[in-house]
Amino acid sequence: MKKLFSLLALGLSLSFSAAHAADAPTAQQSKMGTCNKDAGDKKGDERKAFMKECLSAKADAKTAQQNKMKTCNVDAKGMKGDERKKFMSECLKK
C-alpha cells in the first residue's frame, strides 16, 4: 500500500512539473513572437517573405540580442536591485 501511494505521489509530481515546463516558450516560439511583432502591418506575400527570412535568420538574431544586451547594460550603469531589473526588462523588450 505504501508503494502504491509513493508511486501515485511520484506520478503526480512529474505530471505537474511537465505541465509547468510546457508553459515556458521554446526558442522557436520566442523567435516567432519577435518576428511577428517586427512584421507589423505587412500583409500577403510581403509578410510571408518577411517571416520566412526572419525565422530562418540564425546568427543575426543572436548577435542582435547580444548587442541589445550590451547597450542596455551600458545604459543601466549605476542602477542596482529592482530599479536595474525593471530597467533591463523594459530595455530588452524594445
Full domain range(s) for residue 63: 58-94
CA-CA-CA-CA torsion sign (22, 24, 27, 29): positive
Note whether residue 46 is domain-resident.
Answer: no
Question: Which pLDDT tens digits describe the chain residue by residue (94 residues)?
Answer: 666 556 556 565 656 554 455 566 777 788 888 888 888 888 999 999 988 888 887 656 567 788 888 889 999 999 999 999 999 999 988 7
* CA atoms within a 13 Å half-sphere pointing along the CA-CB vector of 31: 16
In a domain, 29, yes or no: no
Residue 82, domain member (yes or no): yes
Q: What is the pLDDT of residue 11?
A: 63
Q: How many domains does the chain have?
A: 1
CA distance 19 to 29: 17
Its pTM stands at 0.39
Residue 45 lies in a domain: no
